[in-house]
C-alpha cells in the first residue's frame, strides 16, 4: 500500500538542498508529487508531497532526519485518507495590498477573511523602499477561495474600511466559481 507524506523543509539557503531531499526520496523508491520552495532571509524553506510504500516510510523518514547533519531540517507528516465530502461551491479571487509598512496589516486582512470563512490558498509578502524617500513599503498578494454565499460587495466594503484605517490600498479581483 502507498502512503502520502508532507515534508516541511528549512535550511540555510545553499545549493544542493532540493537535490539532497530528492536523493533520499528516490533512494527509498518514493515519488516526489508536488512542492513549493522559497528563499527568505537567508533561509530556504518548502513543502513537498511525497508518495511511498508503507514498508519504506520509516527508512525514508530516517534518511531525511539524517540530513540535519547538513543543516537541512525535515519534518514528516503522514496524510490520512479522509472521506471526501461534497465541497460547497467557492469563487477564486486574488488580493493585493500595498502601502506604508506598519504592524498589523496581515493580521487585519486575514482577520477579515476569517470573518467570511474565506480560505487563503497562497500569500506572498515583501518589504521594499520608496524610490526617493527610502520609506518602507509593505506589499502583500495572494489567492483566496470565497464561499459563493459571501456578498462580494460587503467584502469589498470591509477591505476598503481596513485600507482606510491602515492607510494602504487593497484590491480584490474575483474569478469564476469552482
Each domain of the chain, given as residue ranges in start order, spans 2-78, 90-177
Would you tell me how many other CB atoms lie within 10 Å of the CB of residue 34?
A: 9
Task: Specify the CATH number for 90-177; select among 3.40.640.10, 3.30.70.260, 3.40.50.2300, 3.30.70.1140.
Answer: 3.30.70.260
Give residue 174's pLDDT.
87
Residue 176 has pLDDT above 60, yes or no: no
Give residue 89's pLDDT.
87
Give residue 84's pLDDT.
60
Residue 115 has pLDDT above 80, yes or no: yes
Question: Mean pLDDT over residues 64-71, rounded?
Answer: 98
Give residue 134's pLDDT.
87
Within this chain, domains 2-78 and 90-177 share the same CATH topology:
yes
Q: What average pLDDT does the structure give for the chain?
A: 93
Give residue 131's pLDDT.
85
Q: Which CATH architecture has domain 2-78?
A: 2-Layer Sandwich (3.30)
- The C-alpha atoms of residue 59 and residue 78 are separated, in whole angstroms, by 14
Question: Mean pLDDT over residues 96-122, rounded?
Answer: 96
Residue 85 CB-half CA count within 13 A: 3
Residue 86 has pLDDT above 70, yes or no: no
Residue 83 has pLDDT above 60, yes or no: no
Question: Mean pLDDT over residues 78-102, rounded?
Answer: 85
Residue 29 has pLDDT above 80, yes or no: yes
Give residue 173's pLDDT.
93
- Of all residues in the chain, the percent with pLDDT exceeding 90 is 88
- The C-alpha atoms of residue 39 and residue 35 are separated, in whole angstroms, by 14
Q: What's phi and psi for 126, nearest 5 deg?
A: -155, 155
Question: Mean pLDDT over residues 92-105, rounded?
Answer: 96
Q: Are 173 and 92 in contact (CB under 8 A)?
A: no
Amino acid at each position: 500500500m502507498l502512503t502520502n507524506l508532507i515534508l516541511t523543509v528549512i535550511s540555510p539557503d545553499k545549493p544542493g538542498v532540493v537535490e539532497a531531499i530528492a536523493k533520499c526520496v528516490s533512494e527509498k523508491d518514493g515519488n516526489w508529487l508536488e512542492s513549493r520552495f522559497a528563499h527568505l532571509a537567508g533561509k530556504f524553506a518548502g513543502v513537498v508531497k511525497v508518495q511511498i510504500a508503507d514498508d519504506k516510510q520509516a527508512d525514508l523518514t530516517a534518511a531525511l532526519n539524517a540530513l540535519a547533519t547538513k543543516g537541512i531540517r525535515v519534518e514528516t507528516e503522514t496524510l490520512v485518507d479522509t472521506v471526501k465530502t461534497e465541497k460547497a461551491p467557492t469563487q477564486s479571487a486574488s488580493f493585493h495590498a500595498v502601502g506604508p509598512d506598519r504592524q498589523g496589516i496581515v493580521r487585519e486582512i486575514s482577520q477579515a477573511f476569517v470573518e467570511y470563512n474565506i480560505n487563503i490558498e497562497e500569500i506572498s509578502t515583501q518589504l521594499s523602499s520608496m524610490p526617493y524617500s527610502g520609506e518602507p513599503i509593505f506589499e502583500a498578494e495572494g489567492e483566496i477561495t470565497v464561499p459563493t454565499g459571501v456578498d462580494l460587495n460587503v467584502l469589498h466594503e470591509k477591505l476598503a474600511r481596513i485600507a482606510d484605517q491602515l492607510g494602504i490600498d487593497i484590491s480584490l479581483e474575483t474569478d469564476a466559481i469552482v
